[in-house]
């Protein structure tokens, strides 16, 4: 398909803003973000110009994994408010032209979900087969699969003598999607939310719903990601639920290859609109040099990161749709990981990285605080660990096995731990960053740089990261070439510049970003200077890119 003829769709033209509700805004003085806090800040989001909010889970949950362990899919978490609060948020957002996409966590439930409570109650219960139960092998776990959050992926239920599978924490038992009753129940629940008027789903670890039936030993990912029936189940979901509503659907697909993505996100509309790939955050570009598993602190290098994006851009061109993201609630802050968060470069490099991403082809996702240039936090000791992934890693790698020293693992946490993204949103310079009132302890502590980095300061400064994001979003809305133009990589051998073109009809958009803190020569505009579309310096000098300069033209 020629990209000129690419089918138009609102979700291709939209910019998504991810909210991690617990850390966004506290409205009732308990130190925990909530739904009314989000509603109160809708005008801020409208000002930024985003089209869609993706809400990380707001359902009832015992919070072993901050809401990714759901105990009731049709209820709101007490700490976040009530279903009335949700309905009000949805209405208020819609009134401002903002859509709401829900997180759909259906690879697993909480062990406190009524389905699991029943399933566990006896080996002959009706719902026993709703989860994945196996007999012990030689008195031990059924196989050697390791959970994503450390330790065996199996937990023994003493009462019935069988193990259940949990790819994540032991409080997140995996549902058995091979059982049609499970699919019925999930599809019913999805329909219920769609009928409420929500605008889509971000599907948590959806590539893991079909397990390798051999249950052979080996790495978990190989045996649970992109399994034999995953496409069949998603097509069934499309037929039975998704096709009946006008939705944005994005799958979180760990371990996905470009070829697999062409199926998940096929332009024929048989499964999902798009998927989140992990190559640039979990692949060689970011993990070579890791000390153990995901834990490392080496800085990702431009050629590797650019190579991954170029491959995905070219790979899906015309056959499937990309999603574009730098960070989310599972990743460190973009400016700290890929850019330069030193005070003298933070703003420029945050804008440069935003340019790189937002001018590519695909639907861009902004993670709360990214539009302020928020940075990673600093971990000074184990008492600061909150996230189950960090707590378990500390226990296993430092205390139990001594694989890493305390100092080493803390350095890794500073670089890549999920809590970097989960510090409260920095609204202003008042105590607790305006996230909650002064008299309460926010969950978890705010990043102390809120005195300099906060929304109020950004809104007062026309050169802030906020207004740069606002401009990028507006450019996408106004220029079809930003949405639909085909992608053409440039300067693929450069160690310092990330450049590409987008083509639509006879128009050409040229993008160049300097990933270094030094001036670089750049001859892309020697022959045809084009017209400036956006840049992070007020002026652009021919033949040169200043430190962290991003420059975009159209001709």
Tell me which residue has its CB nearest to ligand GLC: 68
> Which x/- pattern over 252-281 shows residues binding ligand GLC (rule: CB under 6 A)?
x-----------------------------
Judged by beta carbon, residue 149 or residue 498, the one nearer ligand GLC is 149
Partner touching 153 among ligand GLC, Ca ion, none, CB below 5 to 8 Å by kind: none
Judged by beta carbon, residue 330 or residue 341, the one nearer ligand GLC is 330
State the minimum distance, in angstroms, from the CB of residue 527 to ligand GLC. 45
> Which x/- pattern over 394-413 shows residues binding ligand GLC (rule: CB under 6 A)?
--------------------
Instruction: Decide if residue 419 touches ligand GLC (CB under 6 A).
Output: no
Query: Between 230-240 and 180-196, two packed helices, what is the crossing angle to 10 degrees?
Result: 40
Partner touching 168 among ligand GLC, Ca ion, none, CB below 5 to 8 Å by kind: ligand GLC
**What is the token pair recorded at 2?**
């020629």
Partner touching 105 among Ca ion, ligand GLC, none, CB below 5 to 8 Å by kind: ligand GLC
- Would you list the DSSP string of 55-92? EPP-EE---SSTTSS-SEEEEE-GGG--HHHHHHHHHH
3-class secondary-structure state, position 266? strand
Q: What are the CB-based long-range contacts (under 8 Å, 24+) for 223-227?
A: 223/145, 224/145, 224/167, 225/253, 225/254, 225/255, 225/256, 226/253, 226/255, 226/256, 226/257, 226/260
Instruction: Decide if residue 30 touches Ca ion (CB under 5 A).
Output: yes
Instruction: Decide if residue 82 touches Ca ion (CB under 5 A).
Output: no
Q: Which of 64, 65, 252, 277 is an active site residue?
A: 252
Report the residue from 105, 182, 433, 513 that binds ligand GLC according to the rule CB under 6 A: 105
Least Cα distance to 328 among 291, 296, 280 occurs for: 280
Q: What is the DSSP letter of 174?
A: B
Given the rule CB under 5 A, which of 23-31, 208-216, 217-225, 413-421 is the region that contacts Ca ion?
Answer: 23-31
Q: Cα–Cα distance between 422 and 18 in angstroms, integer? A: 12
Q: Is 277 a catalytic residue?
A: no
The bridge status of strand 154-157 relative to strand 274-276 is: unpaired
Instruction: Decide if residue 28 touches Ca ion (CB under 5 A).
Output: yes
Partner touching 270 among ligand GLC, Ca ion, none, CB below 5 to 8 Å by kind: none
3-class secondary-structure state, position 133? strand
Judged by beta carbon, residue 355 or residue 426, the one nearer Ca ion is 426
Instruction: Decide if residue 419 touches Ca ion (CB under 5 A).
Output: no
Instruction: Decide if residue 387 touches ligand GLC (CB under 6 A).
Output: no
Residue ranges in 131-170 that form contacts with ligand GLC under rule CB under 6 A: 168
Report the residue from 3, 20, 25, 34 that binds Ca ion according to the rule CB under 5 A: 34
Q: Is 252 a catalytic residue?
A: yes
Residues with Cβ within 8 Å of residue 180, at least 6 apart in sequence? none
Least Cα distance to 74 among 237, 218, 196, 181 occurs for: 196
State the minimum distance, in angstroms, from the CB of residue 494 to ligand GLC. 33
Q: Cα–Cα distance between 284 and 391 in angstroms, integer? A: 25
**What is the token pair recorded at 62?**
């015992």
Q: Which of 204, 279, 370, 396 is an active site residue?
A: 204
State in Å, rounded, how far the first CA of the chain is from the last one.
Answer: 24
> Which x/- pattern over 440-459 shows residues binding ligand GLC (rule: CB under 6 A)?
--------------------
Instruction: Decide if residue 79 touches ligand GLC (CB under 6 A).
Output: no
Q: What are the CB-based long-range contacts (under 8 Å, 24+) for 286-290?
A: 286/337, 286/416, 290/412
Least Cα distance to 423 among 408, 405, 444 occurs for: 444
Q: Which residues pair with 134 in a beta bridge?
A: 163
Sheet holding 486-490, edge to edge: 486-490, 497-504, 507-514, 550-554, 531-535
Contacting residues toward ligand GLC, per CB under 6 A: 65, 68, 105, 168, 204-205, 252, 329-330
Residues at the site binding Ca ion, with contacts judged by CB under 5 A: 26, 28, 30, 32, 34
The residues carrying an active-site annotation are 204, 252
């Amino acid at each position: 398909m020629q990209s000129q003829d690419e089918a138009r769709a609102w979700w291709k033209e939209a910019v998504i803003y991810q909210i991690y509700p617990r850390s966004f805004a506290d409205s009732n003085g308990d130190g925990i973000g909530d739904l009314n806090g989000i509603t109160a800040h809708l005008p801020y989001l409208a000002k930024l110009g985003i089209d869609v909010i993706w809400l990380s889970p707001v359902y009832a949950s015992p919070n072993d994994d901050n809401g990714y362990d759901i105990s009731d899919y049709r209820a709101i978490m007490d700490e976040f408010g009530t279903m009335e609060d949700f309905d009000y948020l949805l209405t208020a957002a819609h009134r401002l032209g903002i859509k709401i996409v829900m997180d759909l966590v259906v690879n697993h439930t909480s062990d406190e979900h009524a389905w699991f409570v029943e399933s566990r109650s006896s080996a002959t219960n009706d719902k026993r087969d709703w989860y994945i139960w196996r007999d012990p092998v030689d008195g031990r776990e059924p196989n050697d699969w390791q959970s994503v959050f450390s330790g065996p992926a199996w937990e023994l239920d003493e009462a019935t003598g069988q193990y259940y599978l949990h790819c994540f924490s032991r409080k997140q038992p995996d549902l058995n999607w091979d059982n049609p009753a499970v699919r019925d129940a999930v599809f019913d629940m999805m329909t219920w939310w769609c009928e409420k008027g929500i605008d889509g789903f971000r599907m948590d670890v959806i590539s893991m719903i079909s397990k390798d039936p051999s249950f052979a030993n080996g790495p978990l990912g190989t045996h649970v990601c992109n399994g034999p029936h995953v496409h069949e189940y998603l097509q069934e979901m499309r037929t039975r639920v998704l096709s009946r509503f006008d939705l944005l659907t994005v799958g979180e697909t760990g371990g996905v290859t470009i070829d697999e993505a062409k199926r998940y996100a096929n332009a024929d509309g048989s499964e999902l609109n798009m998927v989140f790939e992990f190559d640039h955050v979990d692949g060689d570009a970011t993990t070579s040099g890791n000390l153990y598993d995901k834990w490392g602190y080496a800085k990702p290098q431009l050629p590797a990161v650019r190579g991954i994006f170029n491959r995905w851009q070219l790979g899906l061109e015309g056959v499937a749709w990309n999603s574009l993201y730098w960070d989310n609630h599972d990743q460190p802050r973009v400016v700290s990981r890929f850019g330069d968060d030193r005070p003298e470069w933070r703003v420029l490099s945050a804008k440069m990285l935003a340019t790189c991403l937002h001018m590519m082809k695909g639907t861009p996702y902004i993670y709360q605080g990214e539009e302020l240039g928020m940075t990673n936090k600093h971990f000074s000791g184990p008492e600061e660990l909150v996230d189950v992934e960090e707590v378990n890693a500390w226990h296993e790698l430092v205390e139990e096995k001594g694989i890493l020293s305390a100092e080493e693992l803390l350095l890794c946490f500073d670089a890549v731990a999920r809590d970097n993204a989960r510090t409260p949103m920095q609204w202003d310079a008042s105590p607790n960053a305006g996230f909650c009132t002064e008299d309460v302890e926010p969950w978890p502590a705010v990043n102390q740089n809120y005195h300099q980095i906060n929304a109020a300061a950004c809104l007062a400064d026309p050169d802030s990261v906020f207004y740069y994001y606002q401009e990028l979003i507006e450019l996408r809305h106004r220029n079809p070439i930003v949405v639909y133009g085909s992608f053409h990589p440039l300067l693929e051998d450069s160690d310092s510049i990330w450049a590409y073109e987008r083509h639509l009809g006879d128009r050409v958009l040229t993008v160049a970003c300097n990933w270094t803190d030094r001036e670089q020569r750049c001859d892309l505009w020697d022959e045809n200077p084009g017209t400036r579309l956006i840049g992070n310096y007020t002026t652009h000098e021919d033949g040169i890119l200043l430190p962290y300069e991003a420059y975009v033209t159209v001709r």
